[in-house]
Amino acid sequence: MAGSAASPTVDLAALAPDALLDALLPAPARAALVARVLAEDLGEAGDVTSEAMIDAQAHARAVLRPRTAGIACGMRLAAEVLAQAAPGAHCSAHVRDGERVDRGAAMLSVEGPLRGILAAERTMLNFVGRMSGIATRTAEFVAAVAGTRATVLDTRKTTPGLRALEKHAVRCGGGANHRIGLFDAMLVKDNHVAGLAPAAMAARVADAARRARARHALAFVEAECDDLEQFRAIVALPAGTVDIALLDNMGLDALRACVALRDASAPALKLEASGGVRLETVRAIAETGIDRISVGALTHSAPCLDVGLDIEAA
């Protein structure tokens, strides 16, 4: 998405969620995104139903409410949708991104031209429902690992073109961001080292890490390990060669073995578990002692929060 790539020298993890959204998707880029999405819905003819049904001078008050409790997210996107689709309308957000909302509580109210409010309705609900759903699901994962050392992270398994919004939503739910894209960190995956024995794989990773650090300001260098033999080769590298070992689809016993080996020989190395992590399994994974758990389901499978717009006066 144009305008969405923050400099890798920015410490994104240190930013508050609102500042993160501004860094990844500045206001002009958000406005352009909303304009494209509205154009997709309105086409050239506009809202033909409201044009036929609603008097051009009609004004109304409407309130955005969740049908179920959750974590609010997407309020600034909702305001931008209204600004573009209902010029002259006045909207007030009653919650901030990251705040919990009860079923039926007012999230946002708007007063203005009814045709414009109805033109904005579905686009606004799509943004808020999607982003609030991700924030809500993330909060469930974060609560599930509370009291352990593990941090819940997102992945690059995001909706094309909406990554900045979805990573912001993860932060609003209390999770952390992994790489923003291919540009800000080095992550060596199995396809990068296909066919290499563990020792050769580790040597290739070490050489590539030196070259990458010399050329780029990287947030971290990470190497995926599919089994204990690969992990033993990575953990034997000099300290600082690799920052994080990604333990992909390993069982609990293998994770505990990796933690013990790390603790004994490379205590500075962070360990990240990944691969098919579910809400039902994340606590047991966290209790193995790993530091990070990356969960694709935060973004690729989070259900939308059910939200609706109720017209209260016309």
162 and 280 housed in the same domain: yes
| Residue in the structure block whose two tokens are 């070259």 | 211
98 and 158 housed in the same domain: no
| Count of C-beta atoms within a 10 Å radius of residue 158 | 20
Cα separation, 115 vs 126, whole angstroms: 18
Domain assignment present for residue 1? The answer is: no
160 and 294 housed in the same domain: yes
Domain assignment present for residue 287? The answer is: yes
Domain assignment present for residue 87? The answer is: yes
| Overall domain count for the chain | 2
Question: What's the CATH code of the domain at 97?
Answer: 3.90.1170.20
Confidence at residue 210, expressed as pLDDT on a 0 to 100 scale: 97
Confidence at residue 7, expressed as pLDDT on a 0 to 100 scale: 47
52 and 130 housed in the same domain: yes
151 and 273 housed in the same domain: yes
Domain assignment present for residue 22? The answer is: yes
Question: What's the CATH code of the domain at 172?
Answer: 3.20.20.70
**157 in catalytic set:** yes
Could you tell me the residue range of the domain that residue 22 belongs to? 12-142+303-313
> Which parts of the chain are beta strand (E)?
59-66, 70-71, 90-93, 100-101, 108-113, 151-153, 186-188, 221-225, 244-248, 270-274, 292-294, 307-313
Catalytic residue among 18, 99, 111, 122: 122
Tell whether pTM > 0.75: yes
214 and 99 housed in the same domain: no
157 and 273 housed in the same domain: yes
Domain assignment present for residue 2? The answer is: no
**270 in catalytic set:** no
Confidence at residue 2, expressed as pLDDT on a 0 to 100 scale: 38
Catalytic residue among 67, 100, 149, 189: 189
Confidence at residue 100, expressed as pLDDT on a 0 to 100 scale: 98
Cα separation, 163 vs 94, whole angstroms: 25
Catalytic residue among 22, 166, 226, 248: 248
Catalytic residue among 18, 41, 156, 157: 157
73 and 164 housed in the same domain: no
38 and 130 housed in the same domain: yes
Task: Please return the burial class of 120, using the count of CB atoms within 10 Å of its CB with bins 0-12, 13-18 and 19+.
Answer: buried
Domain assignment present for residue 5? The answer is: no
116 and 217 housed in the same domain: no
Confidence at residue 10, expressed as pLDDT on a 0 to 100 scale: 61
Catalytic residue among 154, 224, 226, 291: 224
Q: What is the mean pLDDT of each run of 10 residues along the chain (314 residues)?
A: 47 82 94 98 96 96 98 98 96 96 98 97 98 98 98 97 96 95 94 96 97 95 97 97 97 98 97 97 98 98 97 78
Backbone angle region of 179, left / alpha / beta, with phi > 0 → left and psi within -120 to 50 → alpha: beta
**122 in catalytic set:** yes
**253 in catalytic set:** no
91 and 159 housed in the same domain: no
**167 in catalytic set:** no
245 and 279 housed in the same domain: yes
